[in-house]
Structure 1
Amino acid sequence: MAEAALIEPAGPRPQKRLSRRNIFLYGTLIVIAVYYALPLYVMIVTSLKGMPEIRLGNIFSPPVEITFEPWVRAWSSACTGLNCDGLSRGFWNSVWITVPSVTLSILIASVNGYALANWRFKGANVFFTILIFGAFIPYQVMIYPLVIILREIGLYGSLWGLVLVHTIFGMPILTLLFRNYFTSIPEELFKAARIDGAGFWGIYLKIMLPMSLPIFVVAMILQVTGIWNDFLFGVIYTKPDSYPMTVQLNNIVNTTTAVKEYNVNMAATILTGLVPLTVYFISGKLFVRGIAAGAVKG
């Protein structure tokens, strides 16, 4: 009994909740959270105020009388240059740009990553090197050559031309993500499927895809965020009738007719950012799983 009493309990010692480390850690996190949340708070409360209340100057105070008129105007009647139909047209243009761009780039990149990880074809390393090099080429270098190419094939100024641009620019980094993820999957599964007679597409569809939901979510979040928030390609490769939502937002904010309507501008900004925010909050856990499961492993 005496010997048993001398044995120290196993495991780490319990830490104090109010230790200096925890105070510093949580204090830093709170400061960072406030830093990023404060602008969003100001945007939300400003969008719910009328202009007379905004002119009082207290941007941090909650609205005395909540009004959704700025949101309605931002969506349906705010002027975006020559047109005064709000963000509604730009929203649907962004949908028609984002959905096929995300789908095509992810499907092509997943097949590329699968082939580079599991099928050692001749020239695979050269192909992968070229893709990685393409991922770090500044977009600005390719703007004018792409204008010429799209004009020659008859897609300049159309939504499908912009879809093609986003698909091409998304493939290099997505191919790297999928290759690294497929490399982390045990090779024994691939070899066993080969022994059982499964071919290229059989292994991809029946083995790799069911195990790859986290990395598909990572790719989807990256592409949806990048494509939906894009302004540069949207303003260059499309025309006013097919401008995406971000270009429409820029026109609303920079179009002034007598009075600067800050509440409408704030409402329009929030409406433009709702889609990527919603996608991230819905699939955020899978995003973390995909990163941790090999998305950034070399």
Structure 2
Amino acid sequence: MPAAASNRRPRAMLRPARIGIYFFLITAAAFFLLPLYVMLVTSVKPMEEIRLGHLFGLPMKMTLEPWAQAWSQACTGLQCEGIQGGFWNSVAIVLPSTMVSILIGALNGYALSFWRPRGSNALFLALLIGAFVPYQVLMFPLVRAFASMSLFGTLPGIVLIHTIFGMPVMTLLFRNYYSTVPRELFMAARIDGGGFWRIFVQLMLPMSLPIIVVAVIMQVTGIWNDFILGLTFAGRDHLPMTVQLNNVINTTTGERLYNVNMAATLLTSMVPLVIYLVSGRWFVRGIAAGAVKG
């Protein structure tokens, strides 16, 4: 009987459905990885090899000089200091924007799930609508409003913009997550004398680690990859890395340095890529723990 089962197992693995699944997965992976491969091999080739036109060929003489040039020497307009300034600007924008938007979203979700003040359903509907309104249609009134408050073109202004646009989605995530928490647990904390802030800090936040990981990944990657808001609201002194990348690619004097452009692109995408590779499993766990329930 075991021998017969072992004889049937290889044939089961070669079923047409299984072959089709593997073919689809391999094709999809190649489709998404091919541009990354081209960028990577181009970024470590000298220009002499790139001129030969072998787009998919491995480098014959590998060099990291394009990476060093993209980081500290590439021209972004009139300045030739690379994209390192944009990196630190992006860090200065992402950290407070992520923390503040997640904190406000957690408080909103907690209040809408357990305390439910008067008009909470209407408030949640308004926040839900705000999560799906394209921010491009709000650009002009926001520019006028921020200019009147002297926030336009400043670091607090771009942080506030990302906090505002992140708050509806964060509220939706945390409300749906807290709706899966048994209400009896909240009532027991109330009976023990817990108030709004004590229950939130000592009970809800420690239970919220899975959804906090999801929120951090979403906010960090979304804010880091943003271009239009940073270009519009950050001002010349606080341009994020994506805007600096655009300036590097579009600033050409003579020959276009494709290896430097590819290296700058990879450097810009490094933070979101590392975050997904490191915390992708936690992201899936957070989603499964209730991020899309409710």
Matches within 5 A, 1:61-100: 61-100=57-96
Unaligned segments of structure 2, at least 5 residues: 1-7
Counterpart of 2:107, as a letter, is V
Q: How far off is 1:205 after superposition?
A: 1.2
Give the aligned partner of residue 113 of structure 1.
109
2:119 maps to 1:123: yes
Normalised by the size of structure 2, how large is the TM-score?
Answer: 0.95
- What secondary structure does 1:130 align onto? helix
2:192 maps to 1:214: no
Q: How far off is 1:155 after superposition?
A: 1.1
Give the aligned partner of residue 131 of structure 2.
135
2:231 maps to 1:235: yes
Q: Distance in 2 between matches of 1:176 and 1:160?
A: 25
Give the aligned partner of residue 266 of structure 1.
262
Give the aligned partner of residue 27 of structure 1.
23
Q: How far off is 1:241 after superposition?
A: 2.2
- What secondary structure does 2:179 align onto? helix
The count of aligned residue pairs is 286
Q: Distance in 2 between matches of 1:276 and 1:67?
A: 25
Counterpart of 1:256, as a letter, is T
Matches within 5 A, 1:248-267: 248-267=244-263
2:225 maps to 1:247: no
Q: Choose the corresponding residue for 2:14, options 15, 18, 24.
A: 18
Q: Distance in 2 between matches of 1:26 and 1:209?
A: 41
Q: How far off is 1:17 after superposition?
A: 1.8
* Percent identity for Structure 1 against Structure 2: 59
Q: Distance in 2 between matches of 1:281 and 1:114?
A: 30
Runs of 4+ off more than 6 Å: none
Give the aligned partner of residue 290 of structure 2.
294
Give the aligned partner of residue 38 of structure 1.
34
Unaligned segments of structure 1, at least 5 residues: 1-12
Superposed CA RMSD in Å reads 1.3
Counterpart of 2:138, as a letter, is M
Q: Choose the corresponding residue for 1:275, options 271, 277, 289.
A: 271
Give the aligned partner of residue 8 of structure 1.
none
Matches within 5 A, 1:171-190: 171-190=167-186
Normalised by the size of structure 1, how large is the TM-score?
Answer: 0.94
Q: How far off is 1:233 after superposition?
A: 0.6
Q: How far off is 1:240 after superposition?
A: 2.1
- What secondary structure does 1:58 align onto? coil
